[in-house]
């Protein structure tokens, strides 16, 4: 709808008068008036600390002042860093089911599903130290546990494979320390590093150790995120089911030889490069030499592929002789 010049002038005049009234109302308030308005319209609360906490079935000595205060800090930080915690809640709906299944298969307590959340926020990030992926695995550790890491492929970005490596590490840590809490702490500082501190300080519990700040906060952050995500509404987070990032329908394409350029897959399945990389972040380049003749599994989103197929029949394309595809 178009406005004539007189209406525009009147509209602007009303905006100006409104601004002046707002300034007259709030601009000249004395300090007490400002404080009263702040108290009335903006409230921040301290948070009740649970009387009983555990990690992986191991009791947290929350009755100890320093333990209680360390947990309180992480609970406050993660409750009032609202945008990050809302994203944690949204993303967990997609990734927790995958991680929970693998943890259960490997005999790892379910509480460890929060570990990649605090490590990466469920994002395929790279740390300044070179740790990669949801589980933030270093290159040496990944290769030690059998992941392929080279110029074209980095399986630290492969959610399922990286989760299995994390499980193997945690089993090894638990065998060393006999405590899931210490195993979790070692994920941050390393088995050797934590063992050294236990021996040097002659202690047996994470909660009795004097550690570097990052490791000293690590388990408490796990506990805080677990506490919030188990009952988000109690901490003021209201995320509707339809707003959560739910699991996507996909299917697997097996490729057992080289690919000169992944654009072939994109064309065949009606997707683009960004979508392919989103579902297959382990592929680091646009090609896949595959000199060893391994079988790689590409994840393809089902809905978009179905939509493309519904719109038009698949166009005839020349299939590179080096690519053998098995749709599953």
Q: What is the pLDDT of residue 315?
A: 40
Confidence of residue 291 (pLDDT cuts 50, 70, 90): confident
Q: What is the pLDDT of residue 310?
A: 44
Q: What is the pLDDT of residues 242-254, one digit of tens each?
A: 999 999 999 999 9
Query: What mean pLDDT is predicted for residues 199-213?
Result: 98
Q: What is the pLDDT of residue 313?
A: 39
pLDDT at 38 over 80: no
Which CATH architecture best describes the domain 54-243? Orthogonal Bundle (1.10)
Distance CA 90, CA 83 (A): 11
| Structure-model confidence comparison of residues 126 and 19, the more confident one | 126
Query: What mean pLDDT is predicted for residues 23-45?
Result: 69
Confidence of residue 166 (pLDDT cuts 50, 70, 90): very high
Query: What mean pLDDT is predicted for residues 267-284?
Result: 95
Tokens of 86: 């809302």
Q: What is the pLDDT of residue 284?
A: 95
pLDDT at 70 over 90: yes
Distance CA 24, CA 243 (A): 41
Q: What is the pLDDT of residue 114?
A: 98
pLDDT at 59 over 70: yes
pLDDT at 314 over 60: no
C-alpha distances in Å from residue 130, one per residue of 72, 136, 139, 251: 30, 8, 8, 31
Query: What mean pLDDT is predicted for residues 243-270?
Result: 93
Q: What percent of the chain has pLDDT over 90?
A: 76
Q: What is the dihedral of CA 216, 123, 136, 198, to 10 degrees?
A: 20
pLDDT at 309 over 50: no
Q: What is the pLDDT of residues 94-150, one digit of tens each?
A: 999 999 999 999 999 999 999 999 999 999 999 999 999 999 999 999 999 999 999
Q: What is the pLDDT of residue 305?
A: 53
Question: CB–CB of 60/219 below 8 Å?
Answer: no
Range in 37-51, 87-101, 122-136, 187-201 with the lowest mean pLDDT: 37-51
Q: What is the pLDDT of residue 88?
A: 97
Q: What is the pLDDT of residue 39?
A: 72
Domain(s) labelled CATH 1.10.530.10 in the chain stretch across 54-243
Confidence of residue 219 (pLDDT cuts 50, 70, 90): very high
Distance CA 4, CA 288 (A): 62
137 DSSP β-pair partners: 132
Query: What mean pLDDT is predicted for residues 204-208?
Result: 98
Task: Give the burial string for 249-282 (b: 16+ CB within 10 Å, else e).
Answer: eeeebebebbbeebebbbebbbbeeebbbeebbb
């Amino acid at each position: 709808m178009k406005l004539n010049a007189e209406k525009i002038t009147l509209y602007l005049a009303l905006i100006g008068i409104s601004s002046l009234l707002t300034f007259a109302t709030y601009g000249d308030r004395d300090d007490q008036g400002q404080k009263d308005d702040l108290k009335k319209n903006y409230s921040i609360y301290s948070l009740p600390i649970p009387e009983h906490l555990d990690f992986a079935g191991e009791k947290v000595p929350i009755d100890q002042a320093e333990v209680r205060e360390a947990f309180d800090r992480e609970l406050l930080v993660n409750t009032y860093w609202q945008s990050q915690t809302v994203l944690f809640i949204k993303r967990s709906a997609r990734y927790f089911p995958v991680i929970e299944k693998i943890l259960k298969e490997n005999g790892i307590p379910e509480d460890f599903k929060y570990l990649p959340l605090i490590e990466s926020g469920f994002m395929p990030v790279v740390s300044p130290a070179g740790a990669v992926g949801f589980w933030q695995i270093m290159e040496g550790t990944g290769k030690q546990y059998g992941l392929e890491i080279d110029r074209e492929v980095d399986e630290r970005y492969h959610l399922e494979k990286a989760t299995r490596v994390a499980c193997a590490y945690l089993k090894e840590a638990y065998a060393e320390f006999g405590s899931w809490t210490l195993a979790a702490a070692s994920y941050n500082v390393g088995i050797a590093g934590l063992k050294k501190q236990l021996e040097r300080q002659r202690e047996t519990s994470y909660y009795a150790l004097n550690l570097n700040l990052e490791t000293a906060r690590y388990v408490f952050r796990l506990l805080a995120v677990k506490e919030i995500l188990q009952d988000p509404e109690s901490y003021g987070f209201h995320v509707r089911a339809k707003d959560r990032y739910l699991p996507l329908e996909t299917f697997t394409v097996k490729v057992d030889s080289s690919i000169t350029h992944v654009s072939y897959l994109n064309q065949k399945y009606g997707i683009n490069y960004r979508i392919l990389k989103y579902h297959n972040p382990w592929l680091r380049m646009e090609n896949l030499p595959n000199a060893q003749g391994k079988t790689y599994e590409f994840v393809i989103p089902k809905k978009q592929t179905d939509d493309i197929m519904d719109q038009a029949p698949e166009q005839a394309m020349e299939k590179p002789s080096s690519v053998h595809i098995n749709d599953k």
